[in-house]
């Protein structure tokens, strides 16, 4: 046989396939992706245990913005390594953009950050202890994720050349990274306002992604952390944000309870912080809070068909209906979009 024939008869070499699935997905024989942690592990709350041979690909265009795997090696330096991963994934250029979008689009509904507090977070993320820097930067990263998932056009940052993927993909990657870092961070007996803010923003991101179990998990974490906050030890500006955060959590928790038949934890008492009625920038937020204020624990218990020793009187339902119908004042100075959203929410509550 000639050399030419031998060349023709030689079978082609088989292409070596590099496994991309993480160890958990291999064991479960389930689909996986190349990101670390993978979506399946994150949804199961096991992002910090997602082990695989492939590292997460870079989401940013520049090579120095590569995203390493989320696994912490035995020689890793805890908070410092976690902070490095976040800063590589979410550089200052992205934070600058998302902060402006937050105040333009989200602040009227969730006014739980001010520009001064953002400056405080950004200065803290470049100084102080590694733990405090990681905590502050994690809040900013979670804010960016919510902005990208909720307010941005699909190709906004991509068209500007800031990132290499569309905003939804990038936002999802930020959420995965933030959740993995959050799960690997030790809990403290004295939670801070930043920890509560982080839990809320992660809740908002999970809600946007329709991850229902994770949504309820982070919402419960945020409300529990708030109950443990020591408001008396805060300075005036931080306490004012905490008071706003309380009402944001009230609206979020009661809305979630109605939609998914969940219980609620936050109660409105004589010690509940009141909103500043004289601040015109909060008028829409005050109206939204007024709509959900009458939705108390007894109403949610009735809605969930809880068994009572003594059934609440029907007059309590009449009170809730009247309070919802009169919650929106006609003379409020609001944008037309805000008015429409409030009216839709009011109609939704009337239908319960």
* Residues 158-212 pLDDT 10s: 667 777 678 888 999 999 999 999 998 888 888 999 999 999 999 999 999 999 9
* Residues 222-232 pLDDT 10s: 999 999 999 98
Domain count within the chain: 3
Residue 174 and residue 39 in one domain: no
Residue 7 resides in a domain? no
Residue 125 resides in a domain? yes
Q: Quick one: pLDDT at residue 260? A: 94
Q: Quick one: pLDDT at residue 15? A: 43
**Contact assessment for residue 77 and residue 210, using Cβ atoms and an 8 Å cutoff:** no
Q: Give the mean model confidence (pLDDT) for residues 130-153.
A: 92
CB-count exposure of residue 29 (10 Å: 0-12, 13-18, 19+): exposed
Per the structure block, which two tokens stand in for 250? 């009230």
Q: Give the mean model confidence (pLDDT) for residues 95-105.
A: 93
Residue 40 and residue 176 in one domain: no
How many separate helices (H) and strands (E) can be counted in the chain? 16, 0
Residue 99 and residue 208 in one domain: yes
Residue 106 resides in a domain? yes
Q: Quick one: pLDDT at residue 19? A: 54
Q: Quick one: pLDDT at residue 133? A: 92
Per the structure block, which two tokens stand in for 158? 């991509």
Judge whether residue 30 has pLDDT over 90.
no
Least confident among 46-60, 105-119, 311-325: 46-60
Residue 249 and residue 216 in one domain: yes
Residue 109 and residue 186 in one domain: yes
What is the Cα–Cα distance from 90 to 163, expressed in whole angstroms? Answer: 10
User: For the domain that residue 24 is a member of, what is the CATH number?
Assistant: 4.10.240
Range among 145-159, 196-210, 305-319 with highest mean pLDDT value: 196-210
pTM equals 0.76
What is the Cα–Cα distance from 141 to 144, expressed in whole angstroms? Answer: 5
Phi and psi of 276, rounded to 5°?
A: -80, 105
Structural domain range at position 319: 279-352
**Res. 74 pLDDT band, cuts 50 70 90:** very low
User: How many CA atoms within 13 Å lie on the side-chain side of 314?
Assistant: 0
Residue 39 and residue 64 in one domain: no
Residue 210 resides in a domain? yes
Residue 121 resides in a domain? yes
Q: Give the mean model confidence (pLDDT) for residues 272-295.
A: 87
Residue 253: closest CA among 268, 238, 242: 268
Residue 118 and residue 226 in one domain: yes
Residue 196 and residue 298 in one domain: no
What is the Cα–Cα distance from 306 to 66, expressed in whole angstroms? Answer: 51
Residue 205 and residue 113 in one domain: yes
**Res. 10 pLDDT band, cuts 50 70 90:** low
Judge whether residue 272 has pLDDT over 60.
yes
């Amino acid at each position: 046989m000639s050399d030419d024939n031998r060349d023709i008869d030689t079978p082609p070499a088989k292409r070596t396939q590099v496994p991309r699935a993480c160890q958990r997905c291999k064991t479960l024989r389930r689909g996986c992706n190349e990101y670390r942690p993978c979506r399946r592990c994150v949804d199961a709350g096991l992002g910090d245990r997602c082990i695989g041979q492939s590292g997460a690909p870079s989401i940013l265009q520049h090579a120095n913005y590569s995203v390493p795997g989320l696994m912490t090696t035995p020689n890793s330096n805890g908070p410092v390594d976690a902070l490095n991963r976040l800063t590589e994934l979410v550089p200052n250029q992205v934070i600058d953009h998302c902060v402006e979008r937050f105040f333009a689009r989200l602040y009227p509904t969730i006014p739980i950050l001010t520009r001064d507090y953002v400056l405080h977070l950004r200065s803290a993320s470049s100084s102080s202890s590694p733990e405090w820097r990681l905590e502050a930067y994690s809040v900013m990263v979670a804010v960016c994720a919510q902005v990208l998932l909720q307010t941005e056009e699909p190709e906004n940052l991509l068209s500007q050349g800031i990132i290499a993927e569309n905003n939804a993909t990038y936002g999802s990657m930020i959420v995965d990274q933030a959740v993995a870092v959050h799960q690997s961070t030790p809990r403290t007996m004295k939670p801070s306002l930043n920890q509560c803010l982080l839990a809320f923003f992660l809740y908002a991101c999970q809600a946007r992604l329709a991850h229902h179990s994770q949504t309820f998990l982070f919402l419960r974490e945020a409300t529990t952390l708030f109950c443990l906050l020591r408001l008396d030890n805060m300075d005036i500006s931080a306490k004012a944000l905490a008071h706003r955060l309380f009402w944001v959590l009230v609206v979020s928790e009661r809305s979630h309870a109605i939609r998914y038949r969940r219980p609620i934890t936050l109660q409105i008492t004589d010690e509940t912080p009141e909103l500043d009625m004289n601040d015109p920038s909060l008028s829409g937020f005050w109206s939204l809070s007024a709509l959900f204020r009458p939705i108390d624990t007894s109403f949610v218990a009735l809605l969930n068909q809880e068994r009572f020793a003594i059934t609440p009187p029907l007059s309590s339902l009449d009170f809730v209906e009247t309070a919802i119908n009169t919650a929106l004042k006609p003379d409020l100075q609001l944008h037309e979009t805000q008015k429409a959203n409030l009216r839709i929410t009011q109609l939704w509550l009337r239908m319960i």
